[in-house]
Amino acid sequence: MFDESKCDFCGDCLARCLYLDFDREQGAREFERLVNSNDVEWLKDCITCFACNEYCTKEAHPFDLILERMEQSGNYVNPKIVFGLKNNFAPKGEFKPPGLQGPVMSLCTIEPNMPYPVKGKLFKGLSFVRGKHFFCNVIFPHVGNESIMRDNIQTLVDKYASLAVDEVIFLHDDCYSLMADIAPKYGVELSFRPIHIFEYLLKYLEDHKSDINSLNMKIAYQRPCASRLTPWKEPMLDEIFALIGVGRVARKYDGENSLCCGQDMKGLVKRGKKFPEYKDVNIKDAKDHGAEAMIFLCPMCHDALSSRCKEAGLQTLMVTDLCRLALGEELGE
């Protein structure tokens, strides 16, 4: 939630934005207008990437206010789209806690969007939870709605608590961000520790170093928007790359300077004046810096960019599949 007491109106949150054209002075003035509830035209040019929360060194959470104003206006995207998404992801039927053994990994609803199945050595011995009962709802801030996500957090946390496990591994970056960052903001307590997939992969690889075959690849990494909320786990990814012999090219749009993948949900949601350009800029940036493959954490990012990557001669792989290759596994078609 936005904390006005921590905001010094420095203007950095808007000046550093890759999608708005403000300097620090303009950014400070425009954000102050937003705090004072004045209408601001640039609100529709925001692409809801959470970046300004990461940029803010005072931890005032400026994006949270932006999102609040979007919902108040009610017209960031067509309300029918928000209503349709809400109905589409609403769980059907009564929730019954599954009886599970072994470590638990959550797949949310992303499994059908994974380019390769979740199988092989990496996932052996895990129990999985999946489906709409475990949907994280972090999609809704991307369409300018906070309430749907916020109002379902406690119910979702209770479902995970019913599994009676100490830890839950999250394959979906949005789910991890909800548990590790968003839920605590709203005062929702967890009875389990959320484990990011990076932490799980790194431990597995360190425990199985003798099974690793160096890939000797130069790659570009497409960082998901939700990673803005939990940047502390990013160094683990570089450790993973080092273990499997992957070189991450130092491209322009990486880390804090990451650019949105351009996912438009099959044309339903187009955000910002520059939105159509993001896909091509990302791919050109990767190619210009010598990458031979684009690596993804988010299946929706993969969905947005994979076809254009292939046209540009870039192989596309999820982080998990990159690790599977390093362990000598074949991914199949």
- Residue 239's pLDDT is what? 98
What are the C-alpha distances in Å from 233 to residues 22, 196, 243?
A: 30, 8, 16
Burial of 279 (0-12, 13-18, 19+ CB in 10 A): buried
Residue range 148-162, pLDDT digits in tens? 999 999 999 999 999
Residue range 172-187, pLDDT digits in tens? 999 999 999 999 999 9
Helices (H), the chain: 12-15, 24-35, 51-55, 62-73, 79-89, 147-161, 173-177, 183-185, 197-207, 234-243, 278-288, 299-311, 319-326
Give me the chain's average pLDDT, please: 93
Q: How far apart are CA 105 and CA 1, in angstroms?
A: 28
Average pLDDT over residues 6-24: 94
Pull the structure tokens for residue 84.
């349709």
The 8-class DSSP code of residue 181 comes to I
What are the C-alpha distances in Å from 266 to residues 74, 148, 225?
A: 21, 22, 18
Which amino acid, residue 173?
D
Residue 267 has pLDDT above 80, yes or no: no
Choose between 332 and 122: higher pLDDT: 122
Residue 268 has pLDDT above 80, yes or no: no
The 8-class DSSP code of residue 179 comes to I
| Distance from chain centroid for Cα 82 | 19
Residue 270 has pLDDT above 70, yes or no: no
Q: Specify which of 20-34, 70-84, 275-289 reaches the highest per-range mean pLDDT.
A: 20-34
- Residue 263's pLDDT is what? 80
Under a CB-based contact definition with an 8 Å cutoff, are residues 43 and 73 in contact?
yes
Average pLDDT over residues 298-317: 94
Residue 278 has pLDDT above 90, yes or no: no
Residue range 69-117, pLDDT digits in tens? 999 998 888 899 899 999 999 999 999 988 888 899 999 999 999 999 9
Confidence of residue 232 (pLDDT cuts 50, 70, 90): very high
pTM for the full predicted model: 0.94
- Residue 99's pLDDT is what? 84
